[in-house]
Structure formats: C-alpha cells, structure tokens
C-alpha cells in the first residue's frame, strides 16, 4: 500500500494531500508524495520538493 501521508511546505504551509493530488500541477488524486516528479513544485510559493516535510497532523 502506498504511503498516503500529507506533506506540508515549510515556506508557505501549503499541504500536499495525496488523496487530492494537484490538479494545477496535473498530479492525479492518489499519487503519494514519494511518486511526485522531481520537477514538481509548490503551487502556492514555487518551492521544490525539498521544502516539504510530513504534515504535523500526519499519522506516524
């Protein structure tokens, strides 16, 4: 089962929720954070993957 943990941008606090995906970035719902393409970026502030960490309310 893929890891469906939500990830939050440390810069702007945008939350990437794998269950929702990112329609603006053409990422399908159900896409785990680990499967995002290397060139994906935060739709709010433009930060790269390295700016994200597991969301504070994400299950361990």
Select 1-60's CATH number: 3.40.640.10, 3.40.50.720, 2.40.40.20, 2.20.28.10.
2.20.28.10
DSSP 1: -
Domain ranges for the chain: 1-60
Closest CA to 6 of 27, 26, 34, 28: 34
Averages of pLDDT over runs of 10 residues in the chain (60 residues) are 88 97 96 97 98 81
- pTM metric for this prediction: 0.87
Structure confidence at residue 56 (pLDDT): 85
């Amino acid at each position: 089962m893929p890891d469906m943990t939500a990830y939050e941008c440390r810069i702007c606090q945008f939350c990437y929720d794998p269950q929702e995906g990112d329609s603006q970035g053409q990422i399908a719902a159900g896409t785990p954070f680990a499967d995002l393409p290397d060139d994906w970026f935060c739709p709010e502030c433009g930060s790269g993957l390295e700016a994200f960490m597991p969301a504070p309310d994400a299950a361990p």
